[in-house]
Structure 1
Amino acid sequence: MLIDGDFRPAWWLPGAHLQTLAPTLMRRRPPIPLGRQRLELPDGDFIDLDWAPPQPGPRVILFHGLEGSSRSPYAGGLMRRLHDQGFQALTMHFRGCSGEPNRLPRSYFAGDTGDMAWLVDHLLRQEPTRPVAAIGVSLGGNALLKWLGETGPDNPLAAAVAISVPFDLDRSARRMEQGLSRFYQWYLVGRLKRSALRKCRLMPMPLDCAALPRLRTFREFDDAVTAPLHGFAGVDDYYSRCSCRPYLRRIQRPTLILHARDDPFMTPETVPTPDELSPSIRLELSRAGGHVGFVEGVGRYWPERRIGDWLGEIL
């Protein structure tokens, strides 16, 4: 189902770029203490979890966006809202995103569903009767939706939410090479290169580390780094196999997707059409909101309100 979202932007933050940048520049992290837990993975690597204080309700995992963490502007607000509603909230850091490089040359990518599947299985083995839901933001949302589609009726989640998802990775990458969106690309590709260079100093890497400073776009970085590190033939193979859009019809768990038509990380054509959505999906498409912005007013953010209400009904 595709419907109009009820988000209305703050009058003093018009436009996609102000909505996108305002939370990063203005938002303070809500005062919620987090506890760190490290889990050892079967391949010898690790993932770090940040847990909100204990609550008795269903567990809700936050999968952050590209180069994000539990310290991302949206993460603290979502964790606070979930905690206040009685959910047990936690953030799973993708490999290398918790402040410490991971142990293996591989990192994480937009279709990286293995670690999230392993974590959910781990949590359900601990407490089989306690439901687990998940929220994926941007890149994390793409991976979450892909996993839901891959597993269909066998997916173990009770519910899922995705925010500002790059449904078509190729179109999204090309959009980032245009206009003011090049600023976001410059910033994020810069962070990706710094992370990769740091690992080059720590361990042998199966890529040309000397070429990293010359990479300027997402397509260049993903072709030179992401694809070879994770078993893809090149950037086009990676984008084709990891975009979540072809998987949406197969999703069979209650799923809410929040998205803005003016998201500067992608074009309007990136958004799936109603016939591409399974009956389990509710895609709420707002006219404005930018990329993971959705500022309604001072200290008020649409995803926190909407996700809190929806998960409260579903769970």
Structure 2
Amino acid sequence: MLSPYSVVESVSPIHPVELPARDGGVVNLTELVEKNVPEAVSGHYYTNKYYIGSGDVQTVLAGQEYAEEYPVWYGRRFFVHDDGSQFSVDYCLDINSRSPENWSEDVKYIPEDDMPRLPLRTRILRPEEVDKLDSSLERRPLVISVHGLTGGSHENYIRAAFTEIHNIVPDAELVVITSRGCNRTKITTPQLFNACWTEDLRQLVKYVTQHQPQRPVFLQGFSLGASIIANYLGQEGTNIPSQVKSAIVVANPWDLKLCSVHLHSRLLGRKLYLKTMTSNLLRLVKNNRKVLSRDARYLATEPKLKTVKTMIDFDNLMTGPLFGFSGASEYYREASSVRRLKNISIPTLALSAKDDPVSGDLCVPYTEAQHNPHVYLSSTTHGGHLGWFGQTGPRWFATVIAKYLDAYLATVDLSKEPVQQPSDTNDFFKDGKFQVKTAGIVSKPLN
């Protein structure tokens, strides 16, 4: 039902994880959120922009640039895996409507001749700048963000979050890991990314925590990036580095199959959202054709790309085969982060909108979240996909993120570990079968 207001509905864990507090006591996750972030708690409401409560309108608004509202400037750094593949990380250098000092000169530094044209407000970090980023004495909190499908650090939702975090937690270092081939980065091996490709994030977290063991790390993901974060947390479980303190997932398409059904069920889903996403993916493939052509599987698929009309077509032809899935259906099943929700073992704040035309409310695991002590879930009646525009003030999700990070840093004793609590769900069904042990069977004659 449309309304000029967005109303929050929150779902707290049945037995929330207890965190060591700075005052020597403990604070559980629900108390932390509800005392410090009232915007994320059931009953909170705000007036929608233009007094319009429509997920489609909010999503269209979220597609604008907002250069003046969120003027974030970045320095780009590159990381290389042992197999020669690389990914980039954009570091927030400044949040200012005017360009940083010496920007016009610094932006001229291009270390390789064949580098793609840099995105707006982004430059390459010089070697001496990179060296300073790895100081073992660094103690400032680090926030690692993962963008949505074919996005990057330039996206307004990331800049909106960074702007508000900077206002409330000014000492936090803010970075964005770029999925391969996105945001004008080149790939060096014939591999792109998907919702459960977590290796680049895993290696970045490992690199940071090994080189800077004293700094707390926070993770946040948006849309497909939220799936990557949630999948990573679930894959790692209790093995996640102790420096990773908490995570935030925003507009996560928890169940990719349900999301696909939801998108195809609506005219705007088919004609606008899916068409745009598919077009962006095809352009990304085209831009990286030279390197992708090293893979025989891509060469076998390339002639068929001209027939691609939908995301399912693309995932059947590209994502599935290139990542070892039989096609879109298997990929959607295996990559859905809801499958790993119960394994998340660090405090995680999940934000969604009930009228999200992309992720869809049916995809949000309200019941499952209640049974994980580490997950607090907040949903709004309106907000669209990565929108949440109010009539005044910062966007709802940006306020919630910044206040949550500030509360966590101010309240929790980061030098101590929370008491690990298993999910409330039991292991009666595990590894694809019911865990029932019987001695065997004998034939029983009927009387």
Q: TM tier, shorter chain?
A: over 0.9
* Gap change, CA 1:254 and 1:96, over 3 Å in 2: same
Q: CA deviation at 1:91?
A: 0.6
Kindly state the Cα deviation for residue 20 of structure 1 after the two structures are TM-superposed. Answer: 0.8
The alignment covers a number of residue pairs equal to: 315
Corresponding residue for residue 91 of structure 1? 176
Of 182, 202, 206, 1:121 maps to 206
1:75-100 CA-to-partner distances (Å, cap 9, x unmatched) read 11222222331210001101111302
Does structure 2 conserve the Cα–Cα contact (< 8 Å) formed by 1:6 and 1:286?
Answer: no
2-structure distance, mates of 1:60, 1:12:
33
Residues 19 and 291 of structure 1 are in contact (CA less than 8 Å); yes or no, is this contact kept in structure 2? yes
- Percent identical among aligned pairs is 27
Query: Could you list the per-position Cα deviations for residues 12-57 of structure 1 after superposition, in whole angstroms to 9, with x for gaps in the alignment?
Result: 3430011111132262262232111111122211111111138963
Q: In the alignment, what sits opposite 1:141?
A: 226
User: Could you tell me how far apart the structure 1 residues matched to 2:88 and 2:145 are?
Assistant: 12
Partner SS state of residue 70, structure 1 = coil
Which of 161, 167, 180 lines up with 2:254 in the alignment?
Answer: 167
Q: Distance in 2 between matches of 1:153 and 1:201?
A: 40
Quote the residue 2:24 is aligned against.
none
Q: SS of the residue aligned with 2:230? A: helix
Q: What is the CA-CA distance between 1:279 and the residue it aligns to? A: 1.1
Look up the match of 1:46.
86
Structure 1: distance between partners of 2:269 and 2:65: 20
Of the three residues 28, 31, 36, the one matched with 2:76 is 36
AA in 1 matched with 2:269: S
Amino acid corresponding to residue 204 of structure 1 in structure 2: R
Aligned residue runs from structure 1 range 8-87, under 5 A: 8=46, 9-25=48-64, 27-28=66-67, 30-53=70-93, 57-84=140-167, 85=169, 86-87=171-172
* Aligned pair partner of 1:176 in 253, 263, 266: 263
Q: Which residue of 1 aligns with 2:283?
A: 194
Q: Is the 8 A contact 2:226 2:250 kept in 1?
A: yes
- 5+ residue gaps, structure 1, are none
Aligned partners of 2:282 and 2:72: how far apart in 1? 31
Corresponding residue for 1:251? 344
Residue 158 and residue 5 in structure 1: after superposition, are their counterparts in 2 closer, same or farther (change >3 A)? Answer: farther
* CA–CA separation in structure 2 for the residues paired with 1:267 and 1:73: 21
Would the aligned equivalents of 1:197 and 1:212 in 2 still touch at CA under 8 Å?
Answer: no
Deviates more, 1:60-69 or 1:237-246: 237-246
Task: Determine the C-alpha separation between the residues in 2 that align with 1:93 and 1:160.
Answer: 18
**Structure 2 SS opposite 1:300:** coil
Q: 2:360 matched to which residue of 1?
A: 267
Gap runs ≥5 in structure 2: 1-10, 13-40, 95-137, 410-447
Q: Which amino acid aligns with 1:53?
A: L
Task: Compare 56-65 and 88-97 and name the one that shifted more.
Answer: 56-65
| C-alpha separation in 1, matches of 2:200 and 2:43 | 31
Computing the radius of gyration from Cα coordinates, the structure with the larger value is: 2
What is the DSSP-based 3-state SS (H/G/I as helix, E as strand, rest coil) of the residue aligned with 2:288? helix
Return closer, same or farther for 1:255/1:21 CA change in 2, 3 Å cut-off: same
Instruction: Indicate how the Cα distance of structure 1 residues 184 and 68 shifts in structure 2: closer, same or farther if over 3 A, else same.
Output: same
User: Partner amino acid for 2:90?
Assistant: D
Determine the C-alpha separation between the residues in 2 that align with 1:140 and 1:26.
20
With over 3 angstroms needed to count, the CA separation of the structure-2 counterparts of 1:80 and 1:201, relative to structure 1, is same
Q: Could you tell me whether the CA contact under 8 Å between 2:224 and 2:252 is conserved in 1?
A: yes
TM-score (norm 1): 0.94
CA distance in 2, matches of 1:15, 1:110: 27
Q: Which moved more, 1:158-167 or 1:101-110?
A: 101-110
- Provide the rounded CA distance (Å) in 1 between the counterparts of 2:188 and 2:58: 36
Aligned partner of residue 33 in structure 1, secondary structure: strand
Q: Bigger CA drift: 9-18 or 124-133?
A: 9-18
Deviation at 1:230, TM superposition (A): 1.2
> How far apart in 1 are the matches of 2:187 and 2:378?
36
Q: Counterpart amino acid of 2:384?
A: G
DSSP 3-state at the match of 1:120: helix
Is 2:379 the counterpart of 1:285?
A: yes
3-state SS, counterpart of residue 72 of structure 2: coil
In structure 2, what is the Cα distance between the partners aligned to 1:7 and 1:163?
A: 18
Please tell me the root mean square deviation across aligned C-alpha atoms, in Å: 1.9
* CA distance in 1: counterparts of 2:340 and 2:66, whole angstroms: 34
Structure-2 residue corresponding to 1:239 = 332
